[in-house]
């Protein structure tokens, strides 16, 4: 069993826990408690249940705010994608969460650090730990930055995610300047133009992206800055 490097993980999360015990519990698999290879008093299954509820609430709230005209069916499909085990596994992999899991010897030997369900569950437990330690805002910021902002651009659901709204909300929560957009270039004939749009958040975060409309280019650029902020502090 590896020891938890809390400082490294907190740097990746952009959040310092008041109670490290909550962070340890969020990453403790039941096999570690059963085999007594961890000092944690309990595993992460109960707070994973809480994290799942918080994740669903924050994603639902963000989608309704970003898309007030969407019907329930479309909102449900978007939410289903963002809270799916497959997407949460992708987010956990980006955070290298598997490196920090506290596992029993048997689970370690069977490749538990790379198991999709185990990583997705740990991510939900981590969301609950953020909420229990600091309230809803740290959990909301994490979800917007890593779960919504970390959606794969190749996903069929990704184009309907409002990355510009997500970036604006994240910048506000981090007390950063509001995003500023500018059309850098327009190319092509009038009936088939492409647009190059730049977005800046302060002086440190900037991205440019092309699209067949100003809106699509702005969304792509905003998504990239969300990714930059997700990597900030690693």
pLDDT at 233: 46
No. of helices (H) and no. of strands (E), the chain: 11, 3
Q: What is the three-state SS of 64-85?
A: HHHCCCCCHHHHHHHHHHHCCH
Place of tokens 């408690």: 33
Q: In the chain, what are the domains? A: 6-148 (1.10.1520.10), 164-231 (3.30.160.20)
Q: Which of 48, 107, 124, 133 is catalytic?
A: 124
Q: 103 or 168: whose pLDDT is higher?
A: 168
**Average pLDDT of the chain to the nearest whole number:** 85
pLDDT at 60: 94
Lowest-pLDDT choice from 147-151, 189-193, 230-234: 230-234
Distance, CA of 37 to CA of 102 (rounded, Å): 8
pLDDT at 7: 84
Q: Which of 52, 107, 162, 224 is catalytic?
A: 52
Closest to 138 (Cα-Cα) out of 95, 176, 173: 173
The pLDDT tens digits for 149-192 are 866 544 445 456 788 988 998 888 888 999 999 999 998 777 56
pLDDT at 123: 96
The CA distances from residue 74 to 82, 108, 223, 226, in Å, are: 13, 40, 21, 23
pLDDT at 142: 92
Q: What is the pTM of this model?
A: 0.70
Is 52 known to be catalytic? yes
Distance, CA of 144 to CA of 166 (rounded, Å): 6
Lowest-pLDDT choice from 17-26, 54-63, 101-110: 101-110
């Amino acid at each position: 069993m590896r020891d938890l490097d809390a400082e490294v993980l907190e740097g990746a999360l952009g959040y310092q826990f008041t109670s490290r015990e909550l962070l340890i519990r969020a990453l403790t698999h039941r096999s570690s408690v059963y085999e007594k290879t961890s000092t944690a008093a309990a595993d992460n299954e109960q707070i994973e249940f809480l994290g799942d509820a918080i994740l669903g609430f924050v994603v639902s709230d963000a989608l309704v705010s970003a898309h007030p005209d969407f019907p329930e069916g479309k909102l449900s499909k978007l939410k289903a994608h963002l809270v799916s085990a497959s997407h949460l596994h992708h987010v956990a992999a980006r955070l290298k969460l598997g490196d920090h899991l506290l596992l029993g010897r048997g689970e370690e030997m069977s490749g538990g650090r790379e198991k999709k369900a185990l990583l997705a569950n740990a991510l939900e437990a981590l969301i609950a730990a953020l909420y229990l330690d600091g309230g809803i805002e740290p959990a909301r910021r994490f979800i917007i930055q890593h779960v919504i902002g970390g959606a794969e651009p190749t996903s069929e659901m990704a184009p309907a995610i409002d990355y510009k709204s997500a970036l604006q909300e994240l910048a506000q929560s981090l007390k950063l300047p509001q995003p500023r957009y500018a059309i850098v270039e327009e190319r092509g004939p009038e009936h088939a133009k492409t647009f190059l749009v730049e977005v800046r958040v302060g002086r440190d975060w900037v991205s440019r992206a092309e699209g067949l409309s100003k809106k699509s280019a702005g969304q792509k650029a905003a998504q990239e800055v969300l990714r930059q902020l997700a990597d900030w502090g690693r």
